[in-house]
């Protein structure tokens, strides 16, 4: 057994001359993240099969619309607090966890106000399902996002085992399990949305308190610059958060809830495969934060090359397998196959992920403003045009173009921001 570990260690170190990446570090953290991703993906996949066979498309579309509306309201809160806490904790300021929790709650008042106004509107329209769903989502969302900062804390601590166990496995099983039970007993979108927000909030709060008792972070060790950075990130993230959720709202209003359901099934599998990429981004940020620019720049091209090759392989395999996957598991959503195959092309954008990790790790505020605002404005405009004139197909094609072009913009800004060689 020891000999096998030794050979594996040597193999990983040998591969570093080609990948220009600390492969031992990635493998150690990657094991837990991979295990969590497998459990999470299988759980979500099982839930999707249940939804496809039990819920009418219009009901599922209504449910997704409620979630997207609450997510849009959250764009006017302290959305950058997670990244700011990550940076502060990685620099030794463990008190950022508690501070981030309470600051996020304080800055979330606009979510509740917005939810109350929208709920009043839908009550006046006689749509009590939307009214109650948005109201309970807007009430619980601040607690959910505040407690979810624990994920940034664990990743900053490089405690990938607990992050995978609690955030990736336990939270997913509890929240998705509760929602699956609800689907079996009701087709009311309000109740489904209520179970979603309540289940996620209770699970995340429990994890937050458990990790807090384990680490016992010193509340006095706070970062004086954390809130300034969080506000910058939140301000630049307003448009990007809107851009990330406006597709659901546009599709619901211009095409309908059934098409919204088809759209969610079309993008679900490609988006699920991006889970490992998010973990990779987090691990790269933790490494980049402590490394000099010259060392990061030396390995950047190699990282991008291997990510590009991986994305090409995935796209080809997925395009070939998608008809069989949907035909066997989601026969009621066979019309989502073509849209899903087209959307899978957006995976080419992952090649530029290391550049985005660099900008976040090095707190390149000006560069992040340019990327977030520029890409978000174009994204919102293209998706609106795509939906209004070409419906579901227009939205999917617009998202593919946006993903690739937006991430290339990140790479361009990165190449302009790194210090020139002496």
Asked if the structure places residue 7 within a domain, the reply is no
Alpha carbon 169 to chain centroid distance?
16
Task: Note whether 373 and 320 are within 8 A (CB).
Answer: no
Element (H or E) spanning 363, and its range? Answer: none
Both tokens of 35, joined, read 């295990």
C-alpha distance from residue 175 to each of 25, 203, 245, 255, 380 (Å) = 30, 7, 21, 30, 30
Give a yes or no: residue 327 inside a domain.
yes
CA distances from 285 to 54, 279, 306 (A): 41, 10, 18
Query: pTM of the predicted model, to two decimals?
Result: 0.85
Nearest to 253 by CA among 79, 117, 69: 69
CA distance 60 to 248: 12
- Residue 422 domain-assigned? no
In a domain, 2, yes or no: no
Query: CA 59, CA 364: separation in Å to the nearest integer?
Result: 43
Per-residue model confidence as pLDDT tens digits over 190-245: 999 999 999 999 999 999 999 999 999 998 898 999 999 899 889 888 888 898 89
In a domain, 5, yes or no: no
The domain of 73 spans 16-417
- In which residue ranges of the chain is pLDDT below 50? 1, 420-422
Tokens 């917005």 belong to: 114
**Tokens 């197909």 belong to which residue?**
393
157 falls within a domain: yes
pLDDT digits (tens, 9 = 90+) for 58-99: 999 999 999 999 999 998 889 999 989 988 998 899 999 999
Domains identified in the chain, total number: 1
What is d(CA 48, CA 265) in angstroms, rounded to the nearest whole number? Answer: 8
């Amino acid at each position: 057994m020891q000999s096998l570990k030794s050979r594996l260690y040597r193999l990983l170190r040998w591969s570093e001359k080609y990948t220009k990446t600390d492969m031992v570090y990635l493998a150690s953290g990657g094991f837990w993240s991979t295990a969590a991703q497998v459990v999470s993906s299988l759980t979500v996949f099982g839930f999707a099969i249940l939804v496809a066979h039990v819920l009418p498309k219009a009901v599922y579309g209504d449910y997704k619309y409620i979630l997207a509306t609450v997510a849009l309201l959250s764009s006017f809160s302290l959305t950058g607090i997670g990244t700011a806490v990550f940076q502060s904790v990685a620099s030794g300021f463990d008190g950022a966890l508690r501070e981030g929790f309470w600051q996020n709650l304080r800055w979330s008042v606009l979510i509740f106000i917005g939810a109350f106004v929208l709920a009043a509107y839908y009550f006046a329209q006689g749509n009590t399902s939307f009214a109650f769903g948005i109201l309970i989502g807007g009430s619980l969302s601040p607690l959910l996002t505040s407690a979810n900062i624990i994920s940034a804390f664990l990743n900053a601590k490089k405690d990938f085992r607990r992050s995978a166990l609690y955030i990736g496995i336990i939270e997913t099983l509890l929240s998705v399990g509760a929602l699956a039970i609800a689907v079996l007993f009701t087709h009311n979108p309000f109740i489904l949305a209520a179970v979603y927000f309540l289940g996620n909030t209770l699970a995340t709060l429990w994890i937050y308190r458990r990790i807090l008792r384990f680490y016992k972070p010193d509340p006095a060790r706070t970062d004086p610059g954390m809130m300034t950075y969080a506000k910058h990130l939140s301000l630049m993230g307003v448009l990007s958060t809107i851009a990330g959720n406006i597709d659901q709202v546009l599709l619901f209003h211009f095409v309908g809830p059934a098409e919204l359901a088809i759209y969610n099934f079309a993008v679900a599998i490609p988006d699920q495969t991006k889970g490992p990429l998010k973990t990779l981004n987090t691990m790269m940020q933790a490494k980049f934060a402590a490394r000099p620019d010259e060392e990061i720049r030396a390995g950047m091209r190699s990282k991008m090359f291997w990510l590009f090759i991986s994305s090409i392989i995935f796209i080809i395999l997925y395009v070939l397998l998608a008809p069989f996957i949907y035909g066997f598991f989601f026969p009621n959503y066979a019309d989502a196959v073509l849209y899903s195959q087209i959307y899978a092309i957006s995976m080419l954008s992952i090649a530029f992920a290391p550049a985005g990790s660099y900008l976040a790790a090095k707190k390149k505020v000006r560069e992040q403003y340019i990327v977030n605002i520029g890409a978000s404005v174009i994204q919102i405009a293209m998706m609106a045009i795509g939906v209004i004139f070409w419906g579901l197909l227009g939205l999917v094609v617009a998202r593919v173009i946006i993903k690739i072009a937006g991430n290339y913009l990140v790479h361009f800004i990165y190449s302009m921001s790194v210090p020139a060689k002496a």
